[in-house]
Every structure is written in C-alpha cells, then in structure tokens.
Amino acid sequence: MHLTSLPRRAALAVAVLAAAATAFALPSAAEAAPTPQAASAAAVPAHAVTGYWQDFDNGAQVQKLADVPDSYDIIAVAFANATSTPGQLSFSLDPAVGYGSEADFKADIAAKQAEGKSVVLSVGGQNGTVSVNDATSASAFADSAYSLMQTYGFDGIDIDLENGLNSTYMASALHQLAAKAGSSFVLTMAPQTIDMQSTSAEYFKTALAVKDILTVVNMQYYNSGSMLGCDGKVYSQGSVDFITALACIQLQGGLDPSQVGIGVPASSSAAGSGYVAPSVVDDALDCLTKGTGCGSFKPPTTWPGVRGAMAWSTNWDASAGNAWSDTVGAHVHGL
C-alpha cells in the first residue's frame, strides 16, 4: 500500500490484464454459497471501518493509538518486520511515533480493546519481505505471530504482502495461528487489485482457503492500473464503477459479503493514484448494499452484508482533519 505511498506497479497490471481476462472464472452459485462465519468475526461489528496506524513517520501526522478516532473499529498496526529466519516475524516500536515505552503502547492497545475495538498487527506493506513457502516457514510464521499477539495483546493479524505469497503454506500458517489464538482471532487482508482478479490467483486462493477464519478482505482500490470488473469490462481507478465492479468479483467469487471491504486512501496525499472523495466511497457502499448511488456499472444483485471500508491510513486521515473517517465512518455504521 503503503509505507512510502509510491504508485504501485501499474505497468504490471496493464501487462497482465489480458491474461486475467482469460483466466477470470467465477464458481457456480452453489460453489459460491456463503459458509458459516467463524466465531472470530463476532467481535467485529457487522459493518466495520478499518484503519492502518503507521509505526513510522513518512510525512503524515504522527499519532499514538489513543489518537485514532472512535470511527475505526479495526486498527492495523503497520508493520511487523521479517527476521533472518524464513516466515518469522518481529515487531519493535519506531521512536518516531513518540511512545516513551512499550508499556505505554500496550496500554493504548488495551484501552482501544476496552472500547470494543480490535487491534491487529499488519504483515507486509510495499517493502515487506516476509516469505512463507514451505511447512517450516509456515510454522515459524504462526509461532512468531502468536508470540507477538501474546506480548502486545494484538487481536490478530493483517496480511498485506505485496510481493507474492504461496496460498498453500500461507493458509496453513494462518490456520495454525488461528488454532493457537482461539475464537477471538481477527484476520484481515489488503491485497492489491491485481491479486483479486481471478479465483486462480494465489492471494484470492489464500482468502478462500481461510474463509472459515477470515474477518475481512479490504482490497486496495488505488495505486493500480485499469482492471476488469465482474462483467468483463475494463474500469479505471478513481471512480465508483472501479470499486463496485471489482468488489463484485470477490462477492461472486466465493467470499461472504461480510468478508468484503473497500480499501482507499484517506487523502490525496496517502497514495500515488486512485484517491476518491469520501462521498464516492459512500456511493460505492450504497451501490453494493442497496443498489443506489451506482455509476454505469449496475451490480447483478445487492449484498446488504458488505463489511465496510478501510483507510490508508489513520495518520493521513488525521493530516486531513479526519474528514475521511468522519464521513465514511458514519456511513458505514449507518448501513
């Protein structure tokens, strides 16, 4: 997404567009039937707002977790670090964020949880190098992630790997982690648009493979080239049609509506391209859930259970006076 807010590899997206068109295939209605949601999703509101909190200073307003507005239901701490052991995670606070001690940070996590919020640790980002590609690294991922959850009090993990992943071993790692964490485990994902064009893509396969423990996929509708919608037409980023036509792929491709969210930049400074006004996010949510506010793309049905929206980041939102969370947060909670 994330980290430096540089434009994502749009050239790659354009290059694979034709291939995606031939590879794109949705399962039958029977195959796409919703499965029962895991208990982990129960702690998160039916319609929820996710925000990434930056554990670094990249020009956005520096803030502590206590400063994150109440509109955010899930706060993803960005980011965990990779170690020299494949799959293993570590985390340490950047002095730039102003915490005097780890104890203060842990206290802020606990305070957010006392308010009914979930705080998860995000793995990846634009420069993330965590690799899970065999059984050993899958176990290392699960063990280290669980250790960090116990140490800091995180409710779960966010998968934001932008440099590829192996669906078989990542799904194994996440199931191992969920088994350790129990029913309160929260699992979120933030794939790039290219990662969710087809159910045969590794990221999409991972999401489907962990559907039983998955809370929400907040795909990044920005820093992207033009992409295919579920109707086979090409849509350009920065519009309500881009959001709704691409969300439709996930909704028809097997994810439950409660597992689908809209990921967008909180301000025009938060991403290299693809920013839309908060009102466009609201329109897209209305189009998907109610059939109103649509552009030229009209979804074949409505999905009232769509989870909500995500912002990169709470810091960029704060830099813009929290205009995003004030507008989109209220709209999501009113669905």
- Buried b / exposed e over 11-46, threshold 16 CB at 10 Å, is eebeebbeebeeebebeeeeebeeeebbebbebbbe
Amino acid of residue 311: A
Closest CA to 5 of 278, 273, 323, 319: 273
Tokens of 85: 């052991």
Closest among 197, 188, 195 to 228, alpha carbons compared:
197
Is the CB of residue 229 less than 8 Å from the CB of residue 246? yes
What are the residues facing 237 on neighbouring strands?
none
Q: What's the CA gap between 88 and 93, in Å, rounded?
A: 17
CA gap 263, 167 in Å, rounded: 22
At 108, which amino acid appears?
Answer: D
The reply to whether 162 belongs to the active site is yes
- CA-to-CA distance for 51 and 88, rounded, in angstroms? 24
CA separation for the pair 138, 39 (Å, rounded): 23
DSSP one-letter code for 192? B
Q: Which of 31, 102, 115, 162 is catalytic?
A: 162
Q: How far from 41 is each of 74, 216, 222, 234, 276, CA to CA, in Å?
A: 11, 9, 26, 33, 28
Q: How many residues does the chain have?
A: 335
- Asked if 82 and 129 touch (Cβ cutoff 8 Å), the reply is yes
Are the beta carbons of 310 and 190 closer than 8 angstroms?
yes
Please report, to the nearest 10 degrees, the dihedral formed by the alpha carbons of residues 273, 279, 280, 286 taken in order.
150
Active site residues: 162
